Amino acid sequence: MPLQPHHDGSATYVPEQEPTLGQRVPVFVRVPAGADVRQVHVRTTGDGEPRFAEAVVDRTDGGDVWWRAEVEVRNPVSNYRFMLSGAGGHRWLNAAGLVAHDVPDNGDFKLVSYAPPPAWARDAVIYQIFPDRFARSAAADTRTAPNWAIPCDWDTPVVGHGPATPRQFYGGDLDGITERLDHLSRLGVNTLYLTPIFPARSNHRYDAASFDTIDPLLGGDAALARLADAVRARGWRLLGDITSNHTGDAHQWFTAAVSDVTAPERELYYFDSSGDYESWNGVKSLPKLNWGSAELRRRFATAEDSLLRRWLRPPYALDGWRVDVANMTGRRGADAYTHEVARLLREVVADTRPDGLLLAEHGHDHTGDLDRDGWHGTMNYVGFTDPVWSWLRHGEGPVPNFLGTPGGVCRRDADAVLATMNTYRSLISWRSYTHSWQLLGSHDSARIRTVVGDAARQEVAAGLLATMPGTPVIFAGDELGLTGTNGEGSRTPMPWHRPQSWDRATFAAYRGLLALRRDEPALRHGGLRWVHADADTLVFLREAPTGSVLVLARRAAGAPLRLAGLPAGENAYGGAPALRPDADGTVTLPADGPTFQVWRLS
Confidence of residue 405 (pLDDT cuts 50, 70, 90): confident
Plot region of 322 (φ>0 → left; ψ -120 to 50 → alpha; else → beta): beta
Q: How far is CA 568 from CA 550, 565, 578, 585, in A?
A: 10, 10, 7, 10
What are 237-255's pLDDT values in tens digits?
999 999 999 999 999 999 9
Mean pLDDT of the chain: 95
Q: What are phi and psi of 53, to 5 degrees?
A: -135, 140
The secondary element (H helix, E strand) that includes residue 549 is strand 547-554
Rounded to whole angstroms, the Cα distance separating 514 from 519 reads 9
Confidence of residue 400 (pLDDT cuts 50, 70, 90): low
In this structure, the strands spanning 39-44 and 51-54 are antiparallel
Task: Give 193's strand partners.
Answer: 128, 239
The DSSP annotation for 200-248 comes to -SSSS--S-S-SSS--GGGTHHHHHHHHHHHHHHTT-EEEEEEESSB--
Residue 188 pLDDT > 90: yes
Length of the chain as a residue count: 602
Cis before 315? omega within 30: yes
Q: Contacts by 380-384 with C-beta closer than 8 Å and gap 24+?
A: 380/424, 380/436, 380/437, 380/438, 380/439, 380/470, 381/439, 381/445, 382/420, 382/424, 383/420, 383/421, 383/423, 383/424, 383/425, 383/436, 384/421, 384/438, 384/439, 384/468, 384/470
pLDDT of residue 37: 94
Query: Could you tell me if 44 and 80 are in contact, meaning their C-beta atoms sit under 8 angstroms apart?
Result: yes
Homologous superfamily (CATH) of 23-112 is Immunoglobulins (2.60.40.10)
Query: Could you tell me if 83 and 98 are in contact, meaning their C-beta atoms sit under 8 angstroms apart?
Result: no
pLDDT of residue 2: 65
In one-letter notation, the amino acid at residue 336 is A
pLDDT of residue 444: 92
Rounded to whole angstroms, the Cα distance separating 309 from 303 reads 8
Rounded to whole angstroms, the Cα distance separating 394 from 398 reads 10
CATH of 125-245+289-523, one of 3.20.20.80, 3.20.20.140, 3.40.50.460, 3.30.565.10: 3.20.20.80
pLDDT of residue 398: 65
pLDDT of residue 63: 82
Residue 397 pLDDT > 90: no
In one-letter notation, the amino acid at residue 471 is T
What are 68-94's pLDDT values in tens digits?
999 999 999 999 999 999 998 999 999
526-601 matches 23-112 in CATH topology: yes
Residues 6+ apart with CB under 8 A from 382: 363, 364, 365, 366, 403, 420, 424
3-state secondary structure 584-602: CCEEEECCCCCEEEEEEEC
Question: What is the three-class DSSP state of 56?
Answer: strand
Query: Could you tell me if 296 and 267 are in contact, meaning their C-beta atoms sit under 8 angstroms apart?
Result: yes
Helix axes 504-519, 455-467, angle to 10 degrees: 20
Query: Could you tell me if 5 and 29 are in contact, meaning their C-beta atoms sit under 8 angstroms apart?
Result: yes
Rounded to whole angstroms, the Cα distance separating 586 from 568 reads 10
Query: Could you tell me if 452 and 134 are in contact, meaning their C-beta atoms sit under 8 angstroms apart?
Result: no
What are 38-55's pLDDT values in tens digits?
999 999 999 999 999 999
Rounded to whole angstroms, the Cα distance separating 207 from 201 reads 7
The DSSP annotation for 157-179 comes to PP--SSTTTTTEE----HHHHHH
Q: How far is CA 252 from CA 85, 261, 564, in A?
A: 65, 15, 65
For the chain, what are the domain ranges? Answer: 23-112, 125-245+289-523, 246-288, 526-601
Q: How far is CA 450 from CA 127, 311, 481, 482, 483, in A?
A: 19, 36, 9, 8, 5
Note if 324 is an active site residue: yes
Query: Could you tell me if 600 and 547 are in contact, meaning their C-beta atoms sit under 8 angstroms apart?
Result: yes
Looking at CATH, the fold of the domain delimited by 526-601 is given as: Immunoglobulin-like (2.60.40)
Residue 145 pLDDT > 90: yes
Cis before 594? omega within 30: yes
Q: Around Cβ 424, how many Cβ atoms within 10 Å?
A: 21
Which among 207, 249, 278, 361 is annotated as catalytic? 361
Return the higher-pLDDT residue of 394 and 377.
Answer: 377
Residue 544 pLDDT > 60: yes
Which among 72, 173, 265, 324 is annotated as catalytic? 324
What are 109-138's pLDDT values in tens digits?
999 999 999 999 999 999 999 999 999 999
Residue 333 pLDDT > 60: yes
Note if 459 is an active site residue: no
Residue 1 pLDDT > 60: no
Residue 422 pLDDT > 80: yes
In this structure, the strands spanning 191-194 and 377-378 are unpaired
Residue 401 pLDDT > 90: no
Residues 6+ apart with CB under 8 A from 270: 277, 278, 287, 288, 290, 332
